[in-house]
Structure 1
Amino acid sequence: MAPWWYTAGSALLLSLQAAAWNYSTYSSMGFQPPKLEVSKTGTTHPGYIFLGPRGDVQDAGSAALIYDDAGDLVYEGPEQVTANFKIQKLFGKDVITFWAGDMMSIGYGYGTVHILDDTYKEIYTVKLTGNFVSPDGSSKDSYCDMHESQITPRNTLICTAYNVTQHDLTSINGTSSQWMLDSQFHEIDIATNQVLHSWSALDHEADIPLTTSYQGLGKDVGTQDAPYDAYHINSVATTNHGYLVSLRHMWSGYYLFQNGSVMWQVSGDDGADFQQIGNVDFSWQHDMRVYNETDNGLVLNLFNNANTPTNEEAETTGISMAIDLDKKTVTGLRALADPNDPIHSVSQGSYQLLSEVDSHAFLGYGSISKVKEFDSDGNVVFSAQFGDDNAVASYRGYRCQWTATPFWKPSVSVQTTSSGATVYMSWNGATEYDNWVVYAASSATSTNNTQIIATAKRTGFETSATLVDPPTTFIQVVARKDTTVLGTSEVVSF
């Protein structure tokens, strides 16, 4: 059990200290994304960095963001609080997915899951509706929680949900009619938003008793507006026979049959149904994922926070372990940490296995505004920071391979100079172009513009070109790959 002083009111640092990040600005777009300070010390896996940063006093730049390994912005989405921004497969194609909505102060949220194609058009919007109760009794357009938005091999989507529920808490020295959060997940048909499968932790209290929670009840917890959070569901993975659910406040993962009953439990404290071999301790964890599953066992990866705002167990690590179902053992395989940068992440976080071939892994540190990539030997080959620790957060952080040509046109702005003008060009989200051409235009409506007055290689998010004595005050810019035109801007004047 948790110390008596650890209460639900301090559960997750999703309401961050008031702070803003150092940000970049551009002439062609009104973005202010966090500057990504990068250290690359080895060979990294291909892909871009996907983040959803937020800070209490910085609205501009709170969005789904993509960066390259140089720290340059590639894409910024609409200004909104986001989580789980990454690339997934849907019907065999790469799609962008992310949650957007409102985060509650004690660590869950209400929102929708957005699915975009490789032109950034939203092709599906997944919502969860039903008979849910919120802390203030208000109804929500969608009850999808930000912790999970996973597309399954069945081309469905799993989202977590938190339902405020009146329940008997006398077993943990409460009363018979207090309020708590029921941790749930729902598998949803993406096209129709029909719920295909649901699971509730409270429906399985016999297998997951409240008395095993490490989250203390606390004297100020147990009302509808301050419900007790015994479980805190934060990831759900599909398995051969059902699902694997991570409950942070239980320090445990639960393998569920398809009908929702518990097949087995693995605990970071005592192993639960398994004998621990080596260092397999974990606590306050996030992002449990299953690999190499057979009828005899599996590999389980997780982000081991080992900390909360009021409880410090150990340094935060990324852990891999082998679970042997025949021998009933759990054996440590590796624990990833940067010896030159010990981190204690009190909330959020992710462990992404980039490749089962070379075992590169990517960790997002949640409340600590850092991401790191590790090679197969556990060496840090990439590290990046996007704000002050415990002041700026991204619920998870990923490295994803992505190719996109936006459905919108490139952006351009012009600033006059004493000898002509400087042209600033960008194409938000485009990954394939490598150079720009600036054309003179005869009028604001001309379409057949062929006079080239400047060229420039792509440089980061925004590229500039200098015009000396331009023949006209109308220009148009074109983004190209080699000599192939990929995007053309509107005609602008200066």
Structure 2
Amino acid sequence: MDDFISGKPSQKSSDNLSPQVWNFVSAPALHPMKVTLNVNKPGTAPGLIFVAPYTAYGSTMIGQTGALIMDQTGNPVWFRPLDSRYIQNTDFRVQFYEGEPVLAMWQGTISGTQSANPNLPAEDPEPGAYFQIMNQNYKVIKRLTAKKGFTSDVHEFIITKRNTALFTAVKQVPADLTPYGGPADGYFDNYSIQEVDLKTGQLLFFWDVLAHVDPADSMIPASSATSSNNIWDCYHVNSVEEGPNNTLLISMRNMWAIYNIDKKTGNIIWQLGGKQSDFTFGPNATFSWQHDARHRPGNRISLFDDACCACPSCPPEGPARGLILQLDFQNMTANLDRTYYHDPTLYVPSQGNVQKLPNGNQFVGWGQEPYVSEYTNAGNNEEDPSLNFLYDMQFPGQNLSYRAFKNKWVGLPLYPPSIAAELFCKAAVVYASWNGSTETAAWQVLAGPTPYRLSVVITSTPRTGFETKIDVNSDGPYFQVNALNSYGQVIGTSRIIRARQFH
């Protein structure tokens, strides 16, 4: 992220009354943000949208922070709010653990969200952060923290096919920064790549960035440490991915570089970009302040090219874009393969990602700018950004999500559906919802004069959005709902409630 605009926090309970926030009668504790669809054309990939909304210090948080799954129309499917706007989730998505689909995410406080003068560089995790994994019942089955005195980092948490966790972690290392033009009593904001066995918690792999990458190659001046408690954010590691032949692909934003390392020796095999690049770049192929470096088939690399404003004195290099590069290892060149620009053009100071979807489409989270977009594989260019631009979702205000994903997901909550009912003379309105249930297709309503004498008054009415409002020709006053799947089978039953009487 960047150096956030400072100001006064403005999280008030009244924010939940905003028209840009969902309010549910049957689920009164949930207040996810409402989104706007700017573009929604045919051809998008199937799936649900995964984001983790939060905002910078001094900006109004619209709705609650937390982990949010939406359908493509913007309706919430599952929302897990956090206790405070000063706690966030990041990297929220579907992964696989022991062959089963799970939800994985980071949780903690991101520096730059809690104070005008944070104690750590912007986007660093505050101590106490952790990673967590939830099963399809939304039950936390694993919680994990970084080893060797490092803090679990916001940027990356991957479950490998070996059922290990591969992640980034950060630690402040005391150092005399005067050789680099920084303070004598300074610190390196050092990163590590760690791999941990999820069953035993054993540390299997550890790569110390400071031991392998010269901080002098940073694009952030060491003098900037004086504005962040003498901590120099020289590297800013923001993605790691396994590659072929026991390698790791690592992105370092503040180096403007992507590194391919040998996991066995720890040696850097090649560097793409930055001051020590092993590749020369073709026209329009250079990148800066990048995020989310990923292998693509055919010696290609995808990344989110922020190209902007990662320090107060850093002017934009250009508009943000999803970028796919073709690497030529014989001639050591990197040429432009595809680009994905937003319409209208965005300048994005931090965060962002590019996800390849199963049908070949590309899904782009715009990081600090409040948008999520989908493109056909062919992409577009800066001159014609509407080309192949299929879908665009906008968050309210200055809400943002570090990354955004589109995944297929089946949610099977074990807790019961939620119900509320209001009685008006001889008729009632029943509100039904089931946070996280992807399989509920319709609702059945039961009513009766006592909790023990209920009968079906509505056999089946289609589910609409997160909460379904159902007009019932019954004076109850006791009501209950059953969730029905697409076959009409009961898959969940709410508690029995007495309706609130309105005259």
TM-score (normalizing by structure 2): 0.86
Q: Does 1:384 align with 2:393?
A: yes
Checking the alignment, whether the CA contact within 8 Å between 1:409 and 1:427 is kept in structure 2 is: yes
1:286 CA displacement: 0.5
Deviation of 1:271 after TM superposition, in Å, equals 8.1
Deviation at 1:226, TM superposition (A): 3.8
1:138 alignment partner in structure 2 = none
Assess if the C-alpha contact under 8 Å between 2:225 and 2:233 holds in 1.
no
Match of 2:441 among 431, 434, 437: 434
The question of whether the paired residues in 1 share the 8 Å contact of 2:21 and 2:62 is answered with: no
Question: Residue 329 of structure 1 corresponds to which residue in structure 2?
Answer: 333
**Counterpart secondary structure, 2:211:** helix
Matched, 1:239 2:239: no
2:40 pairs with 1:34: no
Match of 1:313 in 2: 317
| Cα distance, 1:271–1:46 mapped onto 2, change above 3 Å | farther
1:27-426 equivalence runs, <5 A: 27-30=25-28, 31-38=30-37, 39-55=39-55, 56=57, 57-58=60-61, 60-79=63-82, 80-105=87-112, 106-110=122-126, 111-132=129-150, 143-174=151-182, 177-204=185-212, 208-218=213-223, 221=226, 225-240=229-244, 241-258=246-263, 259-267=265-273, 272-292=277-297, 298-308=299-309, 310=312, 311=314, 312-338=316-342, 340-355=343-358, 358-378=359-379, 379-388=388-397, 391-426=398-433
TM superposition shift of 1:115: 0.7
Partner Cα separation in structure 2 for residue 477 and residue 14 of structure 1: 47
Mapped contact 2:351–2:368 kept (Cα < 8 A): yes
SS of the aligned residue for 2:148 comes to coil
Task: Give, in whole Å, the separation in 1 of the partners of 2:231 and 2:184.
Answer: 14
Q: CA separation in 2, counterparts of 1:400 and 1:220?
A: 39
CA gap of 1:219–1:54, structure 2 versus 1, over 3 A, is closer
- Give the drift of 1:334: 0.5
| DSSP 3-state at the match of 1:345 | coil
CA contact (8 A) 1:441 1:491 kept: no
CA positional deviation for 1:93: 1.8
Question: Partners in 1 of 2:50 and 2:425 — Cα distance?
Answer: 41
SS at 2:179 equivalent: helix
Who is 1:140 aligned against?
A: none
Query: What is residue 137 of structure 1 aligned with on the other side?
Result: none
Aligned length: 458
Percent of pairs with identical residues: 29
Query: What do the CA deviations read for 1:205-247 (whole angstroms, capped 9, x no partner)?
Result: xxx2222111012266287x34111000000001123211100
Distance in 2 (CA, whole Å) between partners of 1:370 and 1:159 is: 26
Is the CA contact 2:182–2:223 (under 8 Å) kept in the aligned structure 1?
Answer: no
Q: Structure 1 residues 220, 123: CA separation in 2 closer, same or farther (over 3 Å shift)? A: closer
2:309, 2:292 → 1: CA distance?
16
Structure 1 SS opposite 2:155: coil
Query: Structure 1 pair 150/93, CA: closer, same or farther in 2 (3 Å)?
Result: same
What SS does structure 2 have at the residue aligned with 1:171?
helix
Q: TM-score, normalised by structure 1?
A: 0.87
CA distance 1:462–1:11, shift in 2 (3 Å): closer
The 8 Å contact of residues 447 and 474 in structure 2, kept in 1 or not, is answered as no
Aligned equivalents of 1:187, 1:54: Cα separation in 2: 28
**Separation in 1, partners of 2:346, 2:435:** 33
1:440–1:449 CA contact under 8 A, matched in 2: yes
* Worse-superposed segment, 16-25 or 408-417: 16-25
> 1:323/1:168 Cα in 2 relative to 1: closer, same or farther (>3 Å)?
farther
Asked if the contact 2:355–2:362 (Cα under 8 Å) also holds between the matched residues in 1, the reply is yes
Q: Would the aligned equivalents of 2:172 and 2:187 in 1 still touch at CA under 8 Å?
A: yes
The residue that corresponds to 1:4 in the other structure is none
2:133 is paired with a residue whose SS is strand
Against the structure 1 CA distance between its residues 201 and 220, is the aligned structure 2 distance closer, same or farther, given a 3 Å change threshold? closer
> Per the alignment, do residues 95 and 50 of structure 1 end up closer, same or farther by CA in structure 2, a change over 3 Å counting?
same
For 2:373 and 2:395, locate their aligned partners in 1 and report how far apart those are by CA, in whole Å: 12
| 1:277/1:58 CA distance change after superposition, 3 Å | closer
Please tell me the residue identity of whatever aligns with 1:122. V
* Aligned partner letter, 1:347: S
- Structure 1 residues 278 and 42, CA gap change in structure 2 (3 angstroms): farther
5+ residue gaps, structure 1:
1-9, 133-142
Q: Flag structure 2 segments of 5+ consecutive residues without an equivalent.
A: 113-121, 380-387
Q: Is the 8 A contact 2:318 2:347 kept in 1?
A: yes
CA-based RMSD of the aligned residues comes to: 2.2
Is contact 1:214–1:251 with CA below 8 Å preserved after alignment?
yes
Question: How far off is 1:441 after superposition?
Answer: 4.4
Partner amino acid, structure 2, of 1:396: R
Q: 1:135 — aligned with what?
A: none
Task: Report how far residue 333 of structure 1 moved.
Answer: 0.6
Give the C-alpha shift of residue 270 in structure 1. 7.1
Measured in 2, the distance between the counterparts of 1:117 and 1:14 equals: 37
Q: Cα deviations across residues 40-66 of structure 1 (Å, max 9, x unaligned)?
A: 023100101111001354385211001
TM-superposed CA distance for 1:275, in Å, is 2.4
